[in-house]
């Protein structure tokens, strides 16, 4: 399954920007793996003095954003699991700034964050590989919008690419 298989009714309109960032070169599982490797390689090339840099007052640091990517992936994967398993319970949104403030990523080492991201991603990859095609097509509700289980896999990738682009535009 590739990004071109997904239909616009499988995700919220505001999520389209993330969906459009995903390459059609690989399958969902392959892209989850490739995008992780690309991200880690990219982050390791960032100068050390930039990891705690804020481009404006109140903005997140690179370490904050990496922690945010980890938190969001866990939430998106959990939502995908529930929907893939046929759970029709509406899933609430989450306030990303509250999570970032509580996480205090500035107290963590970069390598620790990247290792955690890798572990979370490996779990996500195994989960998506375990789903049958019909599981991935299941629809549910999250943050007030209809969404498929497979859309969450592509959103994990697009969300990460979005933040990598933010690094390039505002931090480097």
> Phi first, then psi: what are they for 147, rounded to 5°?
-155, 145
pLDDT digit string (tens) for 98-118? Answer: 999 999 999 999 999 999 999
pTM (predicted TM-score): 0.96
pLDDT digit string (tens) for 15-47? Answer: 999 999 999 999 999 999 999 999 999 999 999
147 closest CA partner among 136, 134, 158: 136
Contact 137, 150 (CB under 8 A): yes
Contact 97, 104 (CB under 8 A): no
| Cα–Cα dist 147/35, whole Å | 22
Residue 117: predicted pLDDT:
98
Contact 167, 19 (CB under 8 A): no
Contact 147, 8 (CB under 8 A): no
pLDDT digit string (tens) for 113-141? Answer: 999 999 999 999 999 999 999 999 999 99
In 57-157, at which residue ranges do the beta strands (DSSP E only) sit?
Answer: 139-142, 145-148
Domains and CATH numbers, the chain: 3-51+58-171 (1.20.120.450)
């Amino acid at each position: 399954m590739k990004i071109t298989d997904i239909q616009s009714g499988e995700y919220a309109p505001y999520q389209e920007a993330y969906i459009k960032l995903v390459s059609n070169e690989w399958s969902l599982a392959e892209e989850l793996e490739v995008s992780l490797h690309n991200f880690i390689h990219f982050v390791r090339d960032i100068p050390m003095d930039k990891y705690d840099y804020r481009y404006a007052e109140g903005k997140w640091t690179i370490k904050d954003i990496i922690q945010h990517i980890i938190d969001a992936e866990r939430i998106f994967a959990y939502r995908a699991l529930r929907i893939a398993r046929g759970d029709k319970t509406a899933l609430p949104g989450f306030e990303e700034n509250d999570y970032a403030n509580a996480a205090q990523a500035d107290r963590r080492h970069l390598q620790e964050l990247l290792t955690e991201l890798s572990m979370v991603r490996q779990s996500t990859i195994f989960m998506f590989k375990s789903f049958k095609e019909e599981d991935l097509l299941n629809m549910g509700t999250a943050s007030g919008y209809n969404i498929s289980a497979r859309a969450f896999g592509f959103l994990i990738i697009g969300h990460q690419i979005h933040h990598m682009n933010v690094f390039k535009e505002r931090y480097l």
